[in-house]
Amino acid sequence: MITVALHGAEFFAKHGFYPEEQVLGCKFAVDISVDFMPLGNLNKDNLSNTVNYEQLYDITFREMQRPRKLIETLAQAIIDEIKKQHPYIETIAVTIKKLNPPLKGRVANSSVSITYTKPL
């Protein structure tokens, strides 16, 4: 089993339940981890035998551009797109952190984590 991951990918986006969040936007950090069996011999040193983390970033970047009220919906959309492009992946974990969420006091981040496990 191989794990490919991105940690702390930062984006500015306009996700949030409240209208002002969708106007002002804020910073988000995203962690993604995928587990899969290699598609070929890793000794061949060929990118097509693994998951390219640049593709994971690009999927996330595209989804971050589509405002949503809930970051749960956003995390699920990222998972769905990864599954569509890489159906052989066995596990996908996505954590989205809203940095400095607009609350009454100082909070470093709020977060949502969703994990998908391919059915047997």
List, in order, residues 6 or more apart from 45 with CB less than 8 Å away.
Answer: none
Beta bridge partners of 34: 4, 92
Whether 118 is catalytic is no
Say how far apart CA 38 and CA 44 lie, in whole Å.
12
Say how far apart CA 17 and CA 59 lie, in whole Å.
23
Single out the catalytic residue among 83, 84, 97, 98: 98
As annotated, the active-site residues are 98
